[in-house]
Amino acid sequence: MNPDRPPETVRAYLADLRHALKGAPAGLISDALADTEDHLNNEIAHNPDVPESQILASVIETYGTPQEIAEEYRDMEATIGGPFPKSEDAPERRFGFFNVVSDPRTYGALLYMLLSLVTGIFYFVWTVTGISLTIGFAILIIGIPFALLFMGSIRVLSHIEGRVVEGLLGVRMPRRLPPATQADETLWTRIRDGLSDSRTWSSMFYFLLMLPLGIAYFVTAIVGLSVSLGVTAGCFYSLLTNDASHIHVDDVPWLEHLLHTAPGLILFAFLGVLMFFVVLHIARAIGWLHGRIAEVLLVRL
């Protein structure tokens, strides 16, 4: 790749643009590549008799070099921001254990964990059913259109999931659907392209993975919130009403005795609050980790 030599093919132009955007979020790179590929292909389609190198030279004069396009996308990204923009005026606070309560990503991740059971079941059932029916219909005449329909649904669902991930977890994901297939492509070409696209398979793997992850996320959120808030609320209720008769720990007599004293209730109320903050930290960590998983498996570069 020679930076002093302008690209003469669409593939070379996209390769230069990908290199110029190195270090940018994967979702931004995906959107930039998809937009540029669509624009270049449209220019070629409207000028079928003109050599591709000549079209690229004209495009560079009017549309810009890959480096210029990359800079424009970086500037646009900085202007638009995301669901959790950083304020440039307010100084960034140092990390602290209790600062997690003021981080909006924490609550986005917590909401994602609560929703993940439903979405995980849906994605798993959709993918397994689609794969099974595609294999079953392969010997029938409806097998080809059904396979195209299923692969198209996977792309649409991966885009929707990406928007949910960006909205709740703050990870930059593609904001446009993958490039549409050309109108003159045959059915076999579309199937071949879908089967050869690694993101088709990685998206399916992501949807299958969402069932165990969704169960784990949901259970972690529900159990963590229930235990921490339940212990805290129960201790405060006993302190305010001076009634701890509802607390029974038959197997641990000393613990039951402790929970019937004011110091013991205060201690466990503090532990419940501490546990709540631990749950928030776990939610934020899960949100960060899942964002990386979604970025690797769903973003097409």
- Report pLDDT digits (tens) over 101-157: 888 899 999 999 999 999 999 999 999 999 999 999 888 888 888 888 898 899 899
**Residue 194 maps to a domain:** yes
- pLDDT above 60 (res 63): yes
Quick one: 54 and 178 in the same domain? no
For range 6-26, the mean pLDDT:
87
Other Cβ atoms within 10 Å of 182 Cβ, number: 11
Quick one: 281 and 150 in the same domain? yes
What does each C-alpha distance from 165 to 170, 235, 295, 298 come to in angstroms?
7, 37, 9, 11
Quick one: 69 and 14 in the same domain? yes
Residues in the chain: 301
What does each C-alpha distance from 207 to 14, 128, 131 come to in angstroms?
29, 9, 12
- pLDDT above 60 (res 93): no
Quick one: 137 and 228 in the same domain? yes
For residue 89, the model assigns a pLDDT of: 45
Burial of residue 260 (number of CB atoms within 10 Å: 0-12, 13-18, 19+): middle
HSE toward the beta carbon, residue 224, CA cutoff 13 A? 19
- What letter represents residue 88's amino acid? E
Contact 77, 32 (CB under 8 A): no
When pLDDT is cut at 50, 70 and 90, the band that residue 274 belongs to is very high
Going by C-alpha positions, the residue among 213, 222, 223, 227 that lies closest to residue 287 is 213
- Domain ranges, residue 24: 10-80
Q: What share of the chain is helix, strand, coil (3-state, %, to 5)?
A: 75, 0, 25
**Residue 294 maps to a domain:** yes
- Among 37, 54, 80, identify where a domain stops: 80
When pLDDT is cut at 50, 70 and 90, the band that residue 219 belongs to is very high
- pLDDT above 70 (res 3): no
Quick one: 121 and 214 in the same domain? yes
**Residue 86 maps to a domain:** no
Residue pLDDT, tens place only, 186-199: 656 666 666 677 88
Quick one: 37 and 171 in the same domain? no
Distance (Å, rounded) from C-alpha 297 to C-alpha 94?
Answer: 32
- What letter represents residue 150's amino acid? F
- pLDDT above 90 (res 242): no
Structure-model confidence comparison of residues 294 and 262, the more confident one? 294
HSE toward the beta carbon, residue 66, CA cutoff 13 A? 27
Quick one: 267 and 291 in the same domain? yes
Tally of domains within the chain: 2
Quick one: 249 and 215 in the same domain? yes
**Residue 87 maps to a domain:** no
Quick one: 73 and 111 in the same domain? no
- Among 21, 47, 80, identify where a domain stops: 80
For residue 200, the model assigns a pLDDT of: 87
Distance (Å, rounded) from C-alpha 126 to C-alpha 7?
Answer: 42
- Among 25, 54, 80, identify where a domain stops: 80
Contact 255, 246 (CB under 8 A): no
**Residue 30 maps to a domain:** yes
Distance (Å, rounded) from C-alpha 288 to C-alpha 261?
Answer: 41
For residue 199, the model assigns a pLDDT of: 85
Quick one: 37 and 131 in the same domain? no
For residue 183, the model assigns a pLDDT of: 46
Distance (Å, rounded) from C-alpha 6 to C-alpha 23?
Answer: 22
Q: Which two tokens stand for residue 271?
A: 């532990």
Structure-model confidence comparison of residues 233 and 212, the more confident one? 212
For residue 157, the model assigns a pLDDT of: 94
- pLDDT above 80 (res 257): no
**Residue 85 maps to a domain:** no
Quick one: 240 and 269 in the same domain? yes
Mean pLDDT, the chain, whole residue set = 84
For residue 140, the model assigns a pLDDT of: 84
For residue 250, the model assigns a pLDDT of: 63
For range 21-39, the mean pLDDT:
88
Quick one: 144 and 260 in the same domain? yes
- What angle do helix axes 10-20 and 52-62 make, rounded to 10 degrees? 40
Distance (Å, rounded) from C-alpha 168 to C-alpha 152?
Answer: 25
**Residue 4 maps to a domain:** no
**Residue 212 maps to a domain:** yes
For residue 148, the model assigns a pLDDT of: 84
